[in-house]
Amino acid sequence: DLTLTLGVRAEEVALESLDRLTGVALSKEFSKAVPTLGAVYALDDAHQVWLQYAEGFLTPDLDELFVDRNANPDLLPEEAANLEAGLRGALGMLRYEASLYFTDITNYIVTEEIVDNAGRESLSFTNAGRVTVRGLETVLEYQASDRVSLGLSYTYARNVFERFFERGIDLS
């Protein structure tokens, strides 16, 4: 038994900031259509394998764009593409789930140290480049009674800056 799911979410974000001391109003708008596609295959009544692809979109917040003294109004939103596959099911009173995932994030927002010509240091928010996130998640849960369950989970994650630039230098 195969179930397919397809979706698209339209994201529109408008950010506005008003400096009450100066009266200066700043605003920025972001929009993106983010798709998702999933498939679940039932091996039998108690066991399933699944696969999902999804995209994500995270805008900079007001502090990062306008408010903080390190603000950067030129920041781009972070964008992510995620692929995940797994197996889940039950064996009597034991429930299990295991999944592998890979996420590719571009325009990742970090704090960058800046040194001016006079040698003064300051910080600024910037889009650093690209980050990959890979991992494994597992869960085992034993239903001892209607009111008591015992669980065990394990997560392994490997997060790597694939492209990371600071002051024009590639720190990847």
Measured distance CA(44)–CA(53) in Å, rounded: 23
In contact, 172 and 132? CB cutoff 8 Å: no
pLDDT of residue 129: 81
Nearest of 36, 33, 31 to residue 4 by alpha carbon? 36
pLDDT of residue 86: 98
Measured distance CA(127)–CA(123) in Å, rounded: 13
pLDDT of residue 28: 94
The alpha carbon dihedral of 161, 162, 164, 170 has a sign of positive
Task: Enumerate the H helices of the chain as residue ranges.
Answer: 62
pLDDT of residue 67: 82
Measured distance CA(57)–CA(10) in Å, rounded: 10
Measured distance CA(132)–CA(125) in Å, rounded: 20
pLDDT of residue 163: 75
Exposure string of 96-129, with b = 16+ CB inside 10 Å and e = fewer, is ebebebebbbbbbbeebeeeeeeeeeeebbbbbb
pLDDT of residue 168: 66
pLDDT per residue as tens digits for the range 119-133: 888 788 888 888 999
pTM greater than 0.75: yes
Query: How many DSSP H helices and E strands does the chain contain?
Result: 1, 8
pLDDT of residue 166: 63
pLDDT mean values, one per 10 residues, the chain (172 residues) = 96 90 89 97 97 96 86 93 98 96 94 80 84 96 94 95 70 64
